Amino acid sequence: MSLSPSVFSVAYKSTKNGWFQQNVFFSLSRDWTRGRGGGKPGGCSGTGSPSLVGDQRGIIERLNAGEVVIGDGGFVFALEKRGYVKAGPWTPEVTVTHPDAVRQLHREFLRAGANVMQAYTFYASDDKLENRACDLAKQVASEGDALAAAGVCQTPSYLSCKSEADVKAIFKKQLDVFMKRNVDFLIAEYFEHVEEAVWAVEVLKTSGKPVAASMCIGPEGDMHGVPAGECAVRLVKAGAQIVGVNCHFDPMTSVKAVKLMKEGVEKAGLKAHFMVQPLAYHVPDSTYLGFTELPEFPFALEPRMVTRWDVHKYAREAYKAGIRYIGGCCGFEPYHIRAVAEELAAERGIIPPASEKHGTWCAGLEMHTKPWVRYWENLLHASGLSLGVSLRAMLTCCSTKRSPLPRK
């Protein structure tokens, strides 16, 4: 269903906190469920994807046009909770052993509004795993208005102080698989050290495909103390067209880090697009290593989970900061991504298929007399359990000090 942005602009002016104007979303929800604009319910294809299916533009063309690109959520944690991935290694054997589980999660993110299906290649070093992961992402991407991406992440070889050539050889081996599967663009993500991230970008750039680079750092910079702004500058100079952060830190902290990256890139006279894919957990007490050093990691993080309302705020802040590739990482479930899509529906001109079953804002008033809109807008929820023991006093035995590697 295609929606006119002008219809939304008037409604947004009267919204005190930037969240979606109730009566507008109510009417859109009714249009969606009554099948206006596409011939099928919600203007969707038969698979439940948006009516924009068939859009052949690449990631850079979409971002250059000022569009909002919504990434998917966290496969590692979601599949671990569902019994398909082992915590610790976090490796993606599930793409071979239970491909239907991966395919279904891709589809849930697609229905929630994501238009990037990122292959589950996290710490994958086996050709069979990488091939299957790319095939699954491409298959689901083809069912809607989505692009398929594949990525590399930091390596044990770098942490073992192997040479630049050795580390790049690992990235090149992964790239060869991605090229054979012909994904739409490439991502270098989850890097704690900008030096290694630059090496990854330099290898991926040889493909001729668009390259995004995302570091798992906060506003304080990488593990060597390189400021976030300088990290971004180095990545752009290496050839990344999209830069940002993912994982390790909560949504608002991650937005702050990308703001610093954006300032650094602009100050250097460079141009790039920006992305953010944070944790779905509140981690105000973390330091350089983010949530990985918390005593609750990885099995007791649920009390820190962000709500869908937190995600509405995050999406709006990211958009206001000039970030146009907005998604999630560990902990982000499909309903979180749906919240991003709903918050930015005015800018995107579409609401996701998954909103058909979501009584957001005023929709509930059709069946109830209580003012649920005001209730949810004014709710003071206890996100993160800020008075919890783990937030009031960190266990020193579980706190990891910053210890830079003895690299050049």
Ordered domains of the chain (ranges, CATH): 56-398 (3.20.20.330)
At residue 373, the pLDDT reads 62
Q: Which of 50-54, 330-334, 338-342, 345-349 has the lowest mean pLDDT?
A: 50-54
Confidence at residue 241, expressed as pLDDT on a 0 to 100 scale: 99
Amino acid identity for residue 277 in this structure: Q
Q: Tell me which residue of 258, 134, 151, 269 sits closest to 210, measured CA to CA.
A: 151
Do you find a cis peptide bond into 298, omega within 30 degrees of 0? yes
User: Shortest CA distance to 192 belongs to which of 238, 240, 261, 247?
Assistant: 247
Ligand-binding annotation for 330, yes or no, is yes
User: Is 247 annotated to bind ligand?
Assistant: yes
Alpha helices in 273-397 (DSSP H): 308-320, 334-343, 345-348, 372-378, 389-392
Q: What is the mean pLDDT of residues 12-25?
A: 37
**In whole angstroms, what is the distance from residue 216 CA to residue 247 CA?**
5
Residue 6: its H or E element: helix 5-13
The residue among 204, 146, 217 whose CA lies nearest residue 175 is 204
Region of poorest pLDDT, from 49-58, 277-286, 314-323, 330-339: 49-58
Of 96, 147, 148, 88, the C-alpha closest to 123 is 88
pLDDT tens, residue by residue, 273-304 = 999 999 999 999 888 899 999 999 999 999 99
Residue whose C-alpha is closest to residue 17's, from 373, 276, 381: 373
Q: Where are the alpha helices (DSSP H) in 274-326?
A: 308-320
- The pLDDT-based confidence of 399 (bands split at 50, 70, 90) is very low
When pLDDT is cut at 50, 70 and 90, the band that residue 55 belongs to is confident
Residue 91 is predicted with a pLDDT of 83
Cβ pair 92, 133 in contact under 8 A: yes
Full-model pTM: 0.82
Would you state the pLDDT for residue 92? 83
pLDDT at position 10: 29
Asked if 232 and 259 touch (Cβ cutoff 8 Å), the reply is: no
Query: What mean pLDDT do residues 365-385 have?
Result: 60
Most confident of 77-91, 150-164, 185-199, 358-372: 185-199
Checking if the pLDDT of 12 tops 50, the result is no
Lowest mean pLDDT among 36-45, 126-135, 368-377: 36-45
Q: Which residue has the tokens 């918050």?
A: 343
Summary mean pLDDT of the chain: 82
- Predicted confidence at residue 56, as pLDDT, reads 80
- Confidence band (pLDDT; 50, 70, 90) for 130? confident
Specify whether the backbone of 131 is left (phi greater than 0), alpha (psi in -120 to 50) or beta.
alpha
Rounded-to-integer distance, Cα 340 and Cα 318, Å = 10
Distance CA 302, CA 215 (A): 24
- The total of other beta-carbon atoms located within 10 Å of residue 394's CB is 16
Please give the pLDDT value at position 385.
54
Question: Quick one: average pLDDT of 229-235?
Answer: 99
pLDDT at 194 over 60: yes
> Span 77-105, mean pLDDT?
93
